[in-house]
């Protein structure tokens, strides 16, 4: 789909806007919440987690915002109770303008050792939780003819990663949800995008070397979220990667493909004999963006 960002005359501000950030008690979510508050937003800090000292992490983040003069409330509901989270934002601030679906957990195991509980727990939080809270926010956004929804994806979902079949499936599922909502919401100024961050977080503790973690801080991802959440942004249905001060868009690429016409044998052997045409990207590759693009190819039309 795509879009653009209007060049702002000054700082990107969010005064009067309400930003809901799930999983905001630490790591990336905390960085998002602090930045939006600094830029004038009302922030609902959601996280059911408890810090090592027994304090609620969402409360600690909200307190760190309000002590600096910002506006924030804490919420400790699970994203599976997304309606409660959105209701809390409406009660506190009267609107929900930006939703950042960041909440997540990991249950990493190699596929042969992964249990049904491992699969369900991860998908419940990442995918079902995102669906529930977005579904709760949707009517408020459509009623105001404004909304920015950001889905936090992952390189694991885009490329796969050992021991993360559950996590990767959930994260790529968010991209599919985002692309659909981008189409459904565009006419009402509800724009959806996804970001796959590369950053050191509590999830990577003990796994990512300290030298690498120092170069991939959560705050280095935040500027992209600010741009995509702003009212001047028209980007919609797009997927990005960000980390270490690097920001890039991603898109699907498709080979020209093999067409077997009426005079050709429509067999597995015929496909195998010309396998290079199926998998080669050197000639006439294109960049599909919609189901219709695939239908045109399947029905024989040239892009």
Cα Dmax for the chain: 75
Measure the CA–CA gap between 5 and 245, rounded to whole angstroms: 19
Q: Which two tokens stand for residue 257?
A: 């493909």
- Neighbouring CB atoms inside 10 A of 253's CB total 10
Cα angle value 30/31/32 (rounded, 5°): 90
Q: What's the distance, Cα to Cα, between the start and end of the chain in Å?
A: 16
- Asked about 167 being catalytic, the answer comes back as yes
Residue 243, φ and ψ in degrees, nearest 5: 175, 140
SS3 content of the chain, % helix, strand, coil (to 5): 45, 15, 40
Measure the CA–CA gap between 96 and 148, rounded to whole angstroms: 9
DSSP string, 259-299: ---TTS--SHHHHHHTHHHHH--SSS-B---SHHHHHHHHT
- Write the CB contacts of 150 (distance below 8 Å, at least 6 apart in sequence): 98, 99, 100, 101, 192, 193, 194, 195, 225, 228, 229
Going by their DSSP bridges, the two strands 239-243 and 246-250 should be labelled as: antiparallel
Active site residues: 167
């Amino acid at each position: 789909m795509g879009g653009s960002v209007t060049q702002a005359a000054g700082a990107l501000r969010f005064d009067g806007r309400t930003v809901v950030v799930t999983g905001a008690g630490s790591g990336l979510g905390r960085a998002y919440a602090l930045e939006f508050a600094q830029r004038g937003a009302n922030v609902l800090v959601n996280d059911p987690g408890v810090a090592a000292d027994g304090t609620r992490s969402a409360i600690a983040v909200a307190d760190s915002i309000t002590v600096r003069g910002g506006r924030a409330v804490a919420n400790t509901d699970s994203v599976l109770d997304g309606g409660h989270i959105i209701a809390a934002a409406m009660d506190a601030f009267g609107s929900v303008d930006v939703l950042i679906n960041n909440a997540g957990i990991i249950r990493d195991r190699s596929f042969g050792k992964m249990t049904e509980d491992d699969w369900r727990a991860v998908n419940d939080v990442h995918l079902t939780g995102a669906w529930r809270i977005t579904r709760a926010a949707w009517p408020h956004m459509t009623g105001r003819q404004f909304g920015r929804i950001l889905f936090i994806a992952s390189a694991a979902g885009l490329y796969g990663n050992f021991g993360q079949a559950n996590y990767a499936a959930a994260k790529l599922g968010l991209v599919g949800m985002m692309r659909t909502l981008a189409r459904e919401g565009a006419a009402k100024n509800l724009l959806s995008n996804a970001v796959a961050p590369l950053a050191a977080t509590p999830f990577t503790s003990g796994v990512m070397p300290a030298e690498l973690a120092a170069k991939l801080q959560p705050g280095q991802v935040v500027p992209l979220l600010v741009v995509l959440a702003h009212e001047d942004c028209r980007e919609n249905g797009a997927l990005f990667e960000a980390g270490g001060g690097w920001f890039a868009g991603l898109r699907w690429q498709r080979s020209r493909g093999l067409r077997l016409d009426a005079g050709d044998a429509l067999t597995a052997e015929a496909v195998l004999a010309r396998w290079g045409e199926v998998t080669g990207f050197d000639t006439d590759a294109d960049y599909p963006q919609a189901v219709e693009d695939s239908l045109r190819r399947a029905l024989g039309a040239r892009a």
